[in-house]
Structure 1
């Protein structure tokens, strides 16, 4: 195609063309009226001459002159409206295509020629040549449509060649063909999609090699992970999506069978809590499978042989181990079968209280510094009172009580701190109280770190951090002696 730099002439808007045509039509109407008057006079004269000649040559015959085709005002109006309608259609459908910068860059000459035909049509219309203008505009529309079709076909051919090469994994050839296609339509989304596939191909190819290894190893988890990585890089690969769906289905099958095997094994071992959990997990995957019904029947038969004595034996074992979480699970599993057993009911209550106490204790133990606050100390002391009935039942609760009590003691025992100054410096223990002006003063504080602040008018203030405990001689000297 010709890629010359010629620019199409600027075209008037349809409204400007129509107004110009209306003015021209008004001038033509006046001209037609004058011409008609002249022709009427001439016709009268010719009629008289013909009559005279006819009277002189009444016996002779002659050839008639051809008569010009007359166009009625109604026909002129119809032709004019037809052009206006065709122009509106051109502006709506053809002009946007011709205004496309990518099409213009592809074939500037053809675009310019089409626009020239359109301008010629508008000029004819302005001169009153409505039928000729309509023919010209129809020609311009045909040229524009043909140009657009040729442009589309050129891009599609290049894109098809690039996609075919990509399918053959001929990446260099695909890139070359795509480059040519994108010169024709740089903004075409399909071209950008293919470019993204080409960019990702080296990494995708490496992942496919890793996938082959995962298949050889029969590692479904690894296969699924690799296929998901491939789709994140190139989401257009339907074959990969299908392979991923199959792998996930196989993985679900593996998980289901694993839960069934676990459930059957735990039924045989008498651990119905774990067996029930395995049953629930398998049911969530494939609720209607025959294997699930088999496990369900097995659980039912074994539970019928589930004796209260066996439950008590296991509960005693868990009590010796101080394993109250297992006690809570076993009681919940056994209670529906033995709803009135006093020991089960008591252990259910004990397990709930002990687990709640230990959960609350964990917060005090994890953040003992909170116990320096009197309100928190009060809550901790209340917790100790609630824990006392369970000291003999749970070694864990007993240890928690001992640790928390020690923390409370640490944060409630106060140690002396002696402060030396010059009796002119004002001293404050931040967030604890005012010492004031002194030469020597001893205060008592719980073990911990404190911030002392000293101030004196006309002197720079000072801040001093001190640690108070029973491991050292708690003395500090604090004097503001640096003038401002």
Structure 2
């Protein structure tokens, strides 16, 4: 894998740099080593194994050893080692970054990094068994270091928190600083440090809250506890105290608003009552007290509005203005459909208006009243209107006029007929007048045809209209055209 090969190159480069740095220190030893080598050369030769003991840290292998490793480790196993090396490299890099703020742990991390370099060099030399050995050591060392590192910052933090909870702010400060010196990114310690930094301000606020309680000053207490919660949100006692004070103030305000609403209702100041109840509902939207008072207010307002509508209707009834009564009653019934008064007014208005309309229709053509069927319908209309005479003087007057009209229509009117005493006259469909100079006959209101005839002369027809208002009606009929 490319990452493993790259890591190997990095490891080799690192070793070369170390060799260069130590080159000057080893020059002095070269002569000694050369001399020692000469002496060894002069000694009797033994087997290689006996003469050169195997160094555990030596990553070079003899050809036979390399061949044995290659035979034992398959291609799949080598790839698995590559993956393990890459993964371990990532873990060690992450660990080194994490502990980099602590010199003690940074040195321990460097030791593990050196073992990792050795593992990469062993892989490059195909010494796979040594790679496995180093990886196991590295994993064990990494776990041990991380455990020690975690204890190094968590234990001081826990002690600092305990001291802080006992209000020992100095001890808490020192212990928490120790924790942060190991791990500056430890969130709990950073949070505790913020609380430590505002400790004195918080204590001052607690004192203000205590004084406010003695003075029975709720506002002062609220401000003090609000300051504490703002500076140190983890102070649960302050949060609970602030919530209790807020609830107490809300309950007091709510009770005051209900009392105001009840007083306004008693004073029939329904506008104020409605406004105050709206404010109370904003505090406790689902309050049963608000619901009960609001229902009472609604009933009272509805009753007051009904009274106003009924009063208006009564005014127009007394004025005999039934068209307006009908409009007001119909509108009122949309809001108060069960009002007995409005239902009665609506019924009477409709009946009176209809009676007046029917009578007016008959009055427009009074001559039709001479017909028995029409007259009978007119009499029925009068009968239907009669129950409402006591409520509408206008209807009564209209009916009286109509009755007189009916009588007048059926009362014969005087009609004077003049002629030459030679023309024979008759009223078609009624009777014979005869040959006259002048004659007065009685005809009921209506339309009539008068015919005049004379031997040797052309007959003539005259149409006359007798109305209830007819007086001194005169008609002249003579036959003057010879044939």
TM range (shorter): 0.3 to 0.5
TM-score normalised according to structure 1 size = 0.47
TM-score normalised according to structure 2 size = 0.47
